[in-house]
Amino acid sequence: MEKFSDYEAFKAAFYKLSFIDLNLYKEKQMKRRITSFAEKYGHSSFCGFLEEIKVNKEIYGLFINYLTINVSEFFRNPVQWELFEKKIIPEVSQYKKNLSSIRIWSSACSTGDEPYTVVMILNKFLPLEKIKIIATDIDIDAMNKAKAGIYSSRSLKELPDEFLKKHFIKIGEELYQISDKVRNCVEFRQLNLLRDPYPADMDIILCRNVLIYFTEEAKDYIFAEFSKSLSKNGVLFIGSTEQIINYQRFGFRSLDTFFYQKI
């Protein structure tokens, strides 16, 4: 068999194992990533690699973490977060009688940098005990790291000093831990955006820097489900490398660059 020629068989078998449908990810990009990982562990075929991750839970866990592309940091793309604070929160507060009842979902939260960023920004408007955010990801290991709340200084390089001083404790040469009060504001749940039911009646949904890995068909499905998940006037916040070309067909209007409001 030609080296790594059995991708179709791998996709079908991997779906049964993980419920992750690789058909909905860009093939060239995904094949390259999986090949690189499998070769690292001494495999020359996808299905041979699959047999190992069926029995080796440690390698399986590492692979899922690698596959779900957990690249995250606090205050990533600061200009967008400034817009979020100065325009989006006030916009949403216009139709919410009580800002403390705002429903926010960080839909691909990775290691928690994004939902905790939201909490710290909301804390400018509300006390921490009145803030509750749903954060989901397909990767349980990433969410366990989020729950621990320990981050390297590299992850915090864009974070404003006021947030670092107020919400973090230095616990090592290059490590910081976010406060319990901030962590208690976030409820983490496992969720596969391509398979599981979405939370309902959301006022703000964040899905940043993850859609670039999906096919157009998968993106259309996710945008349609986000639209259903949002309440009227709710806002979808996407990443700096993403945009919705035909946003009107999902029931959105463009509120600002990378922000879409349900109409």
Tell me which residue range forms the domain holding 24: 7-67
Residue 106 has pLDDT above 90, yes or no: yes
The DSSP bridge partners found for residue 134 are 105, 187
Q: Is 2 among the domain residues? A: no
Q: Where are the alpha helices (DSSP H) in 56-101?
A: 57-67, 78-83, 89-93
Judgement on whether residues 200 and 139 belong to the same structural domain of the protein: yes
pTM reported for the whole predicted model: 0.81
Burial of 95 (0-12, 13-18, 19+ CB in 10 A): exposed
Q: What is the mean pLDDT of residues 155-160?
A: 90
Domain count of the chain?
Answer: 2
Q: What is the mean pLDDT of residues 203-224?
A: 91
- In the listed set 67, 87, 112, which residue is the last one of a domain according to the structure? 67
Q: Is 1 among the domain residues? A: no
Residue 85 has pLDDT above 90, yes or no: yes
CB 194, CB 222: distance < 8 Å: yes
Which pLDDT score is estimated for 170? 93
Tell me which residue of 113, 115, 94, 112 sits closest to 104, measured CA to CA.
115
Which pLDDT score is estimated for 70? 55
More confident residue, 182 or 22: 182
Which pLDDT score is estimated for 57? 87
Cα 22 from Cα 5, distance rounded (Å): 15
Which pLDDT score is estimated for 8? 92
Judgement on whether residues 196 and 224 belong to the same structural domain of the protein: yes
Which pLDDT score is estimated for 69? 59
- In the listed set 23, 47, 67, which residue is the last one of a domain according to the structure? 67
Judgement on whether residues 112 and 213 belong to the same structural domain of the protein: yes
Q: Is 73 among the domain residues? A: no
Sign of CA dihedral 79, 112, 255, 248: positive
Burial of 2 (0-12, 13-18, 19+ CB in 10 A): exposed
Q: Is 214 among the domain residues? A: yes
Judgement on whether residues 34 and 127 belong to the same structural domain of the protein: no
Judgement on whether residues 166 and 254 belong to the same structural domain of the protein: yes
Sign of CA dihedral 217, 222, 225, 231: negative
Least confident segment among 14-23, 78-87, 196-205, 229-238 = 14-23
